[in-house]
Amino acid sequence: MHICMLQEVPMVWIMGGPGSGKGTQAQKIEKQYGFKHIDPIALIEMEIATNSPAGDNFAKFITAGTPIPLPQIVPLIEKQLMSHRGVLKGFVIDG
């Protein structure tokens, strides 16, 4: 279990199917409200590109055509949240 302790800042999650406009809406919220946009897919791709242990694990799921379990993605999001805590107005997470 991961617990992310942040000061009281807004956190917006945008959910929807592929191509539904999640990224577009997240970018609009980021621009209008000054929130930090967190894209879990981009975080996964970055881990794979840097050949990190987590990235190697993610690549196995992608190669097998199976979804990456959420408990393996949450630490990436948490790291982003914690690295920007106290300096941002809020967060918008797409996906």
What residue segments make up the domains of the chain, in order of their start?
22-94
DSSP state of 9: -
3-class secondary-structure state, position 29: helix
State the architecture of 22-94 in CATH terms: 3-Layer(aba) Sandwich (3.40)
Flag the least confident range among 17-31, 36-50, 78-92: 78-92
The whole-chain average pLDDT of the chain stands at 87
Q: How many residues does the chain have?
A: 95
Has residue 84 got a pLDDT over 80? Answer: no
Residues 78 and 4 sit within 8 Å (Cβ to Cβ) = yes
pLDDT, position 2: 38
* Amino acid at residue number 9: V
